[in-house]
Amino acid sequence: MITFTLRSKTVFMGTAVAALLSLAASLSTFFLSREYLLRQRDEVAVTQVRAAARLAVSTLTRSEDPLEVLLSGAQLLPGARAALYQDGSWLVSGVGLATEDIPSDLIRSLESGSAGRQRVSIRDESAVVVGFPIQTTSDTWFIGVMSLQELERTLSVLRGALAIGGLLAIVGGGSVGWWLSRRVMEPLHDISSTAEQISGGDLTKRAKEPREPDLARIAQTFNEMTTSLRARIDREARFGAVVSHELRSPLTVIKGAAELIAAKRDELPTRAQLGSDLLGERVHQFERILNDLIEMSRYQSGGVQPVLEELSVKSLIETLCHRNGLDPRIIEVEDALVVVDVRRFQQVFENLHRNAELYAGGLEAIRSEVQGEFIALHFDDAGSGIPKGDYEYIFEPFVRGNQHSAVPGSGLGLSITAEHVRIMGGAIIVGRSPEGGARFTTRLRRGESSE
Amino acid sequence: MVSRVLFVEDDSKIRQVISASLTDEGFDVVEAPTGEYATSEVDLESLDLAIIDLRLPGINGIDVVRNLRQRTTIPLVILTAHGDSSDVVTGLEAGADDFLNKPIAAKELVARLRAILRRTTDGATPDPAVATSVGSVRIDSSRYEATVADARLHLTRTEFGVLRALVHASPATLSRQALLEAVWGYDYLGDSRLVDMQIYRLRQKLESHGLKEKLLTVRGVGFRLIP
């Protein structure tokens, strides 16, 4: 279904209302004036024809010649169109008038002895036909024809004027609608673009407050909402940070104690050795999750500054592979300079490596591709790939493959990875490797000193 | 030789457990519960290294670092919150030589301390083929002393290590990574800010002896010392 914007709807409504109103006004004006003018014209016609008939009657008293009688009356009428009926025969004067043009209804009313008038169309010309029985003699009628042509012209001028007025009203209505909608929509547009920026993560943005009190209210409410939202997010980030920091001291002690026990592992009974191993492993895992949480809360509260430097991407990857016990044969990276924060890149590498190990049988290849000012690093794993539907969610915090809930982790690894890459001026995307596994691609800026 | 390490930490449990691990590994640990204790009660002469937690009640860790730096040349290692960049920067500016993230692991700590101590107390006679002077700068590795035109250059152990590495390499350029490895014992991926801070200090000290523009930054590569 096509949806219209509020703006176009307002304009449309304005136009429609103006059209309806002006149509109603024009039609009523037209028909009222037409009726009024016609009635006036009718009365004029009746008066004139009556005068003509009287003249004809007075002529009839002097003369027997019906033609003389007819003409004496007809001379008073414009166009001299008249007819005389006497002794069963018609006598007609004037241009373009024939006995057939006299309407039968009129003849019938004359036959019954009363005068009558009727509007007719004679050869596309509208006219009014008035008939009077001549009292002195029975079955003698005088009929006069008065043209309405002039009235028709007046009416057509009126019609034209009203149509133009109507059109102007429609355009005016549309413009008013457009202006109104602009007036209303502009502040709303401002609010919506501010909302967009805010949803993009910039909580410092505020909507402009328009002068109209009603609209200002919306902007105020919106800004108040943003402020309280920001306060809330800050509070949560602070809470997370404080909790994570407070957990650190006890964790240091637990970790130290676990290490003290582990250092004497050989002297422990088998059971205690098992306990020590489990303790050490879980403490390590706990620490990693805690570090992830701290890292994430730091990103959420903003103000993270990377320590950027230019390094050879090849030796960087080689060193990291060596450190993580990866086969150097998987490296298919060209020699170029890359801009990285070493600590963060190391975490990116380790997160992608660990993810591949946990979920997809390890990394199969690390490939590079120079893309303009950027260098793309593809981390291809040996798994069966990630469903396309998960692509957009995978970097969200706490999103984990549901079949992998048994795998330990904070669910923050990939979102921290994405934040790390972003803060280094790059981007990370997920796709499919040529071998069909998952491919995580980090796009990082190339060093300037590279030729 | 048993290394004597000062450990400034307000949490008694952490102090206890880390000291126990360090003692087990053959270190002699001097515990300081506060900054005040560390700066007034401890005999600095007998120490080989100090570890300072930056979050301390009373005198804070940064002030402790500043105080100790003025009085001793031994390596100072600060403990910072994980990934907290600003802590690292202020610590290094106050005179720290290295940092470790909390929560610290005894194993990692021991490895770190060994690496630092090995590099800063490594008095082995250098290969006679390796240069011991560049221009008016002369180093004596057996006594950790450097001179500029026979005037003594007062350097910390770490600064001396950096200068020694640069002198040995001269006229070649040393990369940040090479310096991290030679002086701090990090492999390739140490924090380059450590190097930058030491280079900055060293350069200031050389300049105060009239050696301007002798310690050069080679953009995108590293540093070199020229006669």
Q: Does B19 share its domain with B105?
A: yes
Domain stop point among A123, A156, A189: A156
Domain range enclosing B114:
4-120
Q: Does A314 share its domain with A242?
A: no
Contact B189 A294 (CB under 8 A): no
Task: Report ipTM (2 d.p.).
Answer: 0.75
CATH number reported for the structural domain that contains residue B203 in this entry: 1.10.10.10
**For strand A125-133 and strand A116-122, is the pairing parallel, antiparallel, or unpaired?**
antiparallel
Q: How far apart are CA B13 and CA B105, in angstroms?
A: 14
Is B174 contained in some domain? yes
Q: Which of A256, A260, A287 sits opposite B14 (nearest CB)?
A: A256
Place of tokens 């087990």: B24
Residues of B in contact with A449 (CB under 8 A): 219-220
Q: Does B61 share its domain with B21?
A: yes
B196 pLDDT higher than 80: yes
Q: How far apart are CA A451 and CA A444, in angstroms?
A: 17
Q: Does B99 share its domain with B17?
A: yes
Q: Does A297 share its domain with A314?
A: no
Q: How far apart are CA B94 and CA B89, in angstroms?
A: 9
This model's pTM is above 0.90 = no
Q: Does A126 share its domain with A244?
A: no
Is A150 contained in some domain? yes
Q: Does A148 share its domain with A38?
A: yes
Residues of B in contact with A294 (CB under 8 A): 81-83
Please report the number of interchain residue pairs, chain A to chain B, with beta-carbon separation below 8 angstroms: 87
Domain stop point among A272, A301, A330: A301
Is A216 contained in some domain? no
Cα of B95 to nearest chain A Cα, Å: 19
Q: Does B36 share its domain with B96?
A: yes
Q: Does A341 share its domain with A429?
A: yes
Domain stop point among B120, B141, B163: B120
Lowest model confidence (mean pLDDT) among A25-34, A302-311, A431-440? A302-311
A11-54 pLDDT, tens per residue?
888 888 888 988 898 899 989 998 898 888 888 888 888 888 88
Comparing CA positions, the residue from B138, B142, B140, B147 lying closest to residue B122 is B142
Comparing CA positions, the residue from A226, A244, A298 lying closest to residue B85 is A298
Q: How far apart are CA A53 and CA A47, in angstroms?
A: 10
Q: Does B10 share its domain with B46?
A: yes
Q: Which residues, 6+ apart, have CB-to-CB distance to B98 below 8 Å?
A: B75, B76, B77, B78, B112, B116, B158, B184, B194
Q: Does B182 share its domain with B115?
A: no
Q: Does B148 share its domain with B67?
A: no
Domain range enclosing A267:
238-301
B74-132 pLDDT, tens per residue?
899 998 876 566 788 888 888 899 888 877 777 788 888 888 888 766 655 455 556 67
Contact B188 A251 (CB under 8 A): no
B202-222 pLDDT, tens per residue?
988 888 888 777 788 887 678
Angle at A162 between CA A160 and CA A164, to 5 degrees: 70
Q: Does B145 share its domain with B91?
A: no
Comparing CA positions, the residue from B62, B110, B77 lying closest to residue B191 is B77
Q: How far apart are CA A106 and CA A93, in angstroms?
A: 18
CATH number reported for the structural domain that contains residue A321 in this entry: 3.30.565.10
Tally of domains in chain A: 3
Tally of domains in chain B: 2
Q: Are A396 and A343 in contact (CB under 8 A)?
A: no
Lookup: tokens for A53: 């008939």
Contact A294 B176 (CB under 8 A): no
Q: Does A136 share its domain with A34?
A: yes
